[in-house]
Each structure stands twice: as C-alpha cells, then as structure tokens.
C-alpha cells in the first residue's frame, strides 16, 4: 500500500487542480494499491490534522477548474518555528500527522514561501516532492511556473480593453499588474498588450523619464498613453532607501498603491486625465489556459514518476522545455528576477517601450 498526501499552499491560481490531476492519474495508472490523502487548507491542515481521503472520481473533470479542490491558506515561513496561540509546535505537529497518516510522500504545490517550508520538512526527514505554482513566475530553478500564462492572458486582456476607452477619451491609463517583488507578469502582459510604458521592480523608474515618454507621444499626436505598472514597481529614489526606511515610507504612504502615486505625479506634471485600473485577484482566477493545462499535466505526470521511483526532496521543474528534478535546497529562499540586461528587455526597448530608466 502506497499512501501519498496532496497539499496546496499560499495564494491560489489556475491549474492547481490540473496539476493534482496529473499526479493522481499517473499514480492510479501505475500503482495498483494507492491511496491519496487530500490535506485541507494548506499547511494549516497538516498542522491541525484536517484531511479527506480522495478517490479517482475526485480528480475527474477538474482539468479546467480554477482554484483548488482541497483549499489553501497562507502560513508565513518566518512563523513556522514559533508556537501557535495555544503553544503548539507547528513543525512537530506536521511531522506527527505525516506519521499518523502513514504517508510515504507529501506532494506540495506552491510558490516561494511554500517551498521554504517544504524544504524545512525535507530537512526534518519527510519525503517531499514539490510542484512550481505561482502567477509570478519567480521560482528559482524552473523556467516556467503553472498559473503564470493564465495570469498573463488575463492581465493582457485588461490592457487590451483599456485601449479603446483610453483612445476615446485621450487619457493616460495605468493598469496595475500583480507579481509581488518581480516583474515577469507585468513585462509579458505589457508587451502582449501593447503598453507604451512598463514599470517593473527590477528597473527602478525615474518619474521624469516616464513623463518625458508621455510628452513625446503627445507631441507626435498620440492622445493617450497606457502604462503597465507592477505592484512592486519602485522609483530610483526609493530604491536607494534601506529596506527598513522603505517599509516605513510605504506604511505612511497616502496612496493605496504605487500606481495611484505614479498617477498623481504624472497628473501634476502633465495636466492630463489619469485613470488607474487594478485587475487584482481576477489575475489568479478563472479557468487555466491551454498552455497551463499542458505544463500542469506534464509536471504532474513527472511527479508521479518521481514518487514511484522514490526520488524525493526535489521540485519538479521545467528547463529548456524538459521536465527536471531540482533539489529543494537549491530552490528555497531564492527569487528568479527579471534581468534588466536580458534580451527580452532590449527587444522591448527596441519596440519603443519605456521602462522609466
């Protein structure tokens, strides 16, 4: 009898279900005696013993279903070694439930914080295999994460839809794109959506350069400008601050987000009408796009093979379109950032896109 636990942690996204389906189908196909334990609501379920036994029918019809059928939650890694409000040792509780449920392996789907905790559990002796989930595409060790392309599609559609109203009214529109501290999602959506200005965290912007790009468009008769702004975009001045001072400044900022601050500064300098659009969590919702369904199925099937071969302690990643095992200790705690000198940035600039630098 083989028993495998499934756990989805952190922010939800498209293709979590598709990926679990891939793992389950591979295991059901090749292992005669297999049980899958669905651990509910992320690491919280592993801590407090909340689970349900899964059946093959549970993985039927979920290829196109967004979200996660076993729920998720955010459990900050920095608090994992701290007791909960009742004094419970979280790590010990997770280890005890793993043993109590007689798991042979724990399959964890998640992003950066999730992988830190997964690596911690590996260090504590648990058999762990992870799968790269995040719309941010910022996981180290893999070229692509599932959920990213679906989010790109949604963010691009938002920019597409802004074009007609921006052109009709001759306004400056800012579309704020998710991505935390990295700019992959904004960069891809900005290029795909034909944004005129793209601001990402990896390239601190000069507001004068941004205004200059808008003025240049106005001078040649273009009445509107569209900016794709990452939620983590940062000015050159703020980039020079210490992390502590920057956090303090953000906390006291009167604007709800960086896009509104940039909008106010552009409005003051140009006198143009500014509108801010924030697609927000719609970028994490809905059905996965075909590309994500394919890579999720591939990643899931490969994870099933790794489990059968007892190849634990790895993240199932994609490199050069091939599925590869990546040691968890190489992944945990690292971010895959956009290289400001990369070819995609150079090519975007060749198209006339301004990055504010």
The pLDDT of residue 250: 82
In this prediction, residues 90-116 reach a mean pLDDT of 97
Whether the per-residue pLDDT at 217 is higher than 90: the answer is yes
Q: What is the pLDDT of residue 45?
A: 97
* pLDDT at residue number 244: 84
- Contact yes or no for 229/274 (Cβ under 8 A): no
Task: Name the residue ranges covered by the structural domains of the chain.
Answer: 2-147+288-331, 151-284
Residues noted as catalytic: 136
Coil/strand/helix, residue 309: coil
pLDDT value at residue 247: 83
CB 231 within 8 A of CB 222: no
323 closest CA partner among 340, 310, 305: 305
Q: What is the pLDDT of residues 25-65, one digit of tens each?
A: 999 999 999 999 999 999 999 999 999 999 999 999 999 99
Q: How far is CA 261 from CA 2, 164, 257, in A?
A: 54, 24, 7
Question: What is this structure's pTM?
Answer: 0.94
Task: Assign domain 151-284 one CATH number from 3.40.140.10, 3.40.50.460, 3.90.1150.10, 3.30.390.50.
Answer: 3.40.50.460
- Which CATH number applies to 2-147+288-331? 3.40.50.450
pLDDT at 253 over 90: no
- 338 touches 187 (CB < 8 A): yes
pLDDT of 169 higher than 90: no
């Amino acid at each position: 009898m083989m028993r495998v636990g499934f756990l989805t942690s952190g922010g939800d996204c498209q293709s979590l279900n598709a990926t679990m389906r891939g793992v389950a189908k591979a295991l059901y196909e090749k292992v005669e005696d297999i049980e899958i334990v669905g651990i509910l609501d992320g690491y919280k379920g592993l801590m407090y013993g909340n689970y349900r036994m899964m059946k093959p029918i549970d993985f039927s019809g979920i290829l196109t279903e967004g979200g996660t059928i076993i729920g998720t939650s955010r459990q900050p890694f920095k608090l994992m070694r701290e007791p909960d409000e009742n004094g419970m040792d979280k790590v010990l509780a997770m280890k005890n439930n793993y043993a109590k449920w007689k798991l042979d392996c724990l399959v964890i789907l998640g992003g950066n914080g999730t992988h830190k905790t997964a690596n911690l559990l590996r260090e504590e002796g648990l058999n762990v295999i992870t799968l790269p989930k995040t719309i941010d595409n910022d996981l180290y060790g893999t070229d692509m994460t599932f959920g990213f392309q679906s989010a790109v599609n949604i963010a691009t559609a938002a920019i597409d839809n802004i074009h007609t109203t921006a052109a009709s009214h001759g306004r400056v529109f800012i579309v704020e794109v998710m991505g935390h501290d990295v700019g992959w999602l904004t960069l891809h959506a900005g290029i795909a959506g034909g944004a005129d200005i793209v601001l990402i965290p990896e390239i601190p912007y000069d507001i004068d350069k941004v205004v200059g790009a808008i003025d240049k468009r106005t001078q040649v008769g273009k009445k509107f400008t569209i900016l794709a702004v990452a939620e983590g975009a940062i000015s050159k001045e703020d980039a020079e601050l210490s992390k502590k001072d920057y956090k303090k400044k953000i906390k006291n900022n009167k604007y709800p987000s960086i896009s509104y601050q940039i909008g106010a500064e552009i409005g003051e300098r140009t006198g143009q009408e500014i509108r801010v659009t924030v697609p927000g969590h719609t970028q994490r919702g809905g059905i996965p796009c075909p590309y994500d369904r394919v890579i999720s199925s591939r990643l899931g099937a490969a994870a099933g093979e790794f489990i059968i071969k007892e190849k634990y302690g790895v993240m199932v990643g994609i490199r050069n379109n091939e599925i590869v095992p990546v040691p968890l200790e190489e992944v945990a705690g690292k971010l895959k950032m956009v290289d400001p000198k990369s070819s995609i940035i150079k090519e975007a600039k060749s198209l006339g896109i301004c990055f504010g630098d």
